[in-house]
Amino acid sequence: MGSSNIKLVILDRDGVINYDSADFIKNPDEWQPLPGSMEAIANLNQAGFRVVVATNQSGIGRGLFDMSALNAMHEKMYKLLAQAGGRVDALFFCPHTADADCNCRKPKTGLFQEISQRFGVRLAGVPGIGDSLRDLQAIAQMGGRPILVLTGKGERTQEAGDLPPGTLVFNNLREAANFLINEQH
């Protein structure tokens, strides 16, 4: 696990890439991208970042939707991304409910450990963008850079405070992406 030249950025899904819902996003019709999110991912790709999605999807464990519905949502995301000239290199999800006590449900780091293994890189310094505290906690535990966006649950997360030290805050994914892209120059 050397420090290779792969530039990763890890994104939460609901509330970061697409609109979130208190009733869960259960099918492709309910999966609607947030304004500018597809372009933000494409811009990251063009700047040399590999974009990875890490998402808790406990609706599966709760029986609210099944794997074919989740796959259909992601097909829609990939299609819209392709139209914008972007792509996601990998997608990792936790299907379990909170009481399953798995290691993959954020704020635990199982999904992030899988990402680290898949790409053969440490996540130290890797940006992790999310709208909830558990997204930020998970990336911070891996030594990455927590970035909060104020879409989805983001404003409530910011108001609740207790963010990991050094958390950066942006209005949305496009602003966060622009910051990361400009920072390299």
Per residue in 5-33, pLDDT tens? 789 999 999 999 999 999 999 999 999 99
Q: What is the mean pLDDT of residues 84-94?
A: 98
Q: In percent, how much of the chain has pLDDT > 90?
A: 96
105 neighbors 57 (Cβ within 8 angstroms): no
For all residues of the chain together, what is the average pLDDT?
96
105 neighbors 56 (Cβ within 8 angstroms): yes
Tell me the two tokens of residue 121: 């890189």
pLDDT of amino acid 183? 93
Tell me the two tokens of residue 146: 């927590």
Is the pLDDT confidence value at 2 over 60? no
- Number of DSSP helices (H) and strands (E) in the chain, helices first: 7, 6
CATH code for 16-110+135-183?
Answer: 3.40.50.1000
pLDDT of amino acid 106? 97
pLDDT of amino acid 4? 54
Q: In percent, how much of the chain has pLDDT > 70?
A: 97
Is the pLDDT confidence value at 144 over 60? yes
pLDDT in tens, 97-132: 999 999 999 999 999 999 999 999 999 999 999 999
- Residue 37, C-beta contacts closer than 8 angstroms, at least 6 positions apart: 16, 17, 18, 172, 173, 174
pLDDT in tens, 38-59: 999 999 999 999 999 999 999 9
The DSSP result for 53-113, as a single string, is EEEE-HHHHTTSS-HHHHHHHHHHHHHHHHHTT---SEEEEE---GGG--SSSTTSSHHHH
Q: Would residue 14 show up in a list of annotated catalytic residues for this protein? A: yes
161 neighbors 141 (Cβ within 8 angstroms): no
Q: Would residue 135 show up in a list of annotated catalytic residues for this protein? A: no
- The full set of domain ranges for the chain reads 16-110+135-183
Is the pLDDT confidence value at 92 over 50? yes
Among the listed residues 14, 20, 131, 135, the single catalytic one is 14
Q: What is the mean pLDDT of residues 86-98?
A: 97
